Amino acid sequence: MTTTARTAERAEEDRRARETVVRADRGRIGKPKESVSLVHKLGGILPTVVLLIAVLYFLLPMVWVVFAATKSTGELFSTSAFTFGSSLIGNMTDLFAYENGSFARWLGNSFIYSIGGALLSTAVSAAAGYALALYRFPGKKAVMVGLLAGVLLPTITLAIPQYMLFAQLNLTNTYWAVLIPISITPFGIYLSYVFARGSVPQELLEAARVDGSNEGRTFVSIGLPLLFPGLVTVFLLQFIGAWNNFLLPYIMQSKSELSPITVAMFLMLNRGGSEPVLYSVAIAGALIAVIPVVIFVLVLQRFWRLDLISGSLK
C-alpha cells in the first residue's frame, strides 16, 4: 500500500471518528435542551396557576356575599351557597331601618374616618417624605431609622398606649381619637419619601430658589404636582386601611353613634346569636361596605397608569 493510500485511509478513519463524536455530543446536548424547555414551560405556567388560585381565594368570599345578601335567614341555611334568593330588597330595607336608621350613621362615620384620615395622612406623608428626600438636616439618619422601625412595628401594639394617652387628654369618644392616630403613618411617609426621591429633581428646586421662590411655595407649586400620582397611591392605601380599621375605633369609641361600619357589623353579628334574623341583615351590610372600596379603586386606578406612563417617559 502506497503512502498516499495510507494517508487517505487514515484521513477517512479520522473523519468517521469525528462524525461519531459529533453525533454523540448532539445526543447528549439534545436531551438537556428538551429538559430545559420543559422547565421553562413549567416556570411560565406555575406562576399563572398560583395567581389564579389566589384570585379564587379572594374572590369566592365576595361572590358568596353577593349571593347571600339576596337571601332571607331561612334561605341562607337551606339553599345552595351560590344561588340567588328572594329577599334582597327586604334585607336592604331592614338594614337601613335597623335601630332607627343607625346603619346610615355608621356608614357616614366610616366615610368620615376613611376620607378624613386618608386626606390628613396623605398631607402629612407628602410633607414629611418630601423633606426627608430632598433636605439635609441634623439627625436625618436617626429619623430614617425610626421611620423604618415604625414601618416594621405592628400597629396593634400601639392601640393600648394610644388609648391611655387619649383618655388622659379627654379625647376618647370623639372623632379625633381615630383621626389623629391614622393621620400619621410611617408606611405612608416612607412611600412618599421613595416617590419624592425618584420624581422631584434637585435641579428644579435649585432653579426655583434662584427665581426667589420660598420653600413652601416650591413644595406646593413644584413638589406636589410631581408627587401627585404617588400621593394617589398613598391616599388609596390609607383609605382602605382606615375603612377596614376595627381595633382602633373599637377601643376608642364606647358610643355606638360614633362607631364605623366595621365595629357596627361586629356588634350586629354578636347579636345574631339571639336574633338569627340579623345574619341576613349583617351580610347585606357587608355587601354595602365593599362597594365604596371597589368604586375608589376603579376611579383612582387611572392615576396609577398615568404614573407608569410618566415614569417610562422620564
215-to-121, 141, 191, 209, 309 alpha-carbon distances in Å: 21, 22, 21, 8, 28
Q: Is 177 exposed, middle or buried (0-12, 13-18, 19+ CB in 10 A)?
A: buried
Q: Looking at the predicted structure, is the pLDDT value of residue 118 above 90?
A: yes
Q: What is the pLDDT of residues 40-86, one digit of tens each?
A: 666 668 888 888 999 899 889 888 888 988 888 888 888 888 888 88
The reported pLDDT for the residue numbered 313 is: 40
What are the cell numbers at 139?
439627625
Q: Residue 145: CB partners within 8 Å, gap ≥ 6?
A: none
Neighbours of 226 (CB within 10 A): 18
Looking at residue 173, its amino acid is N
Q: What is the pLDDT of residues 175-231, one digit of tens each?
A: 999 999 999 889 999 999 998 988 888 888 888 888 888 888 888 888 888 888 888
Rg, Å, the chain Cα set: 32
The reported pLDDT for the residue numbered 6 is: 61
The reported pLDDT for the residue numbered 46 is: 80
Q: What percent of the chain has pLDDT over 70?
A: 80
* Secondary structure string (H, E, C) spanning 6-21: HHHHHHHHHHHHHHHH
Q: What is the mean pLDDT of residues 84-94?
A: 87
What are the cell numbers at 176?
379625633
Q: What is the mean pLDDT of residues 123-131?
A: 93
Q: What is the DSSP letter of 119?
A: H
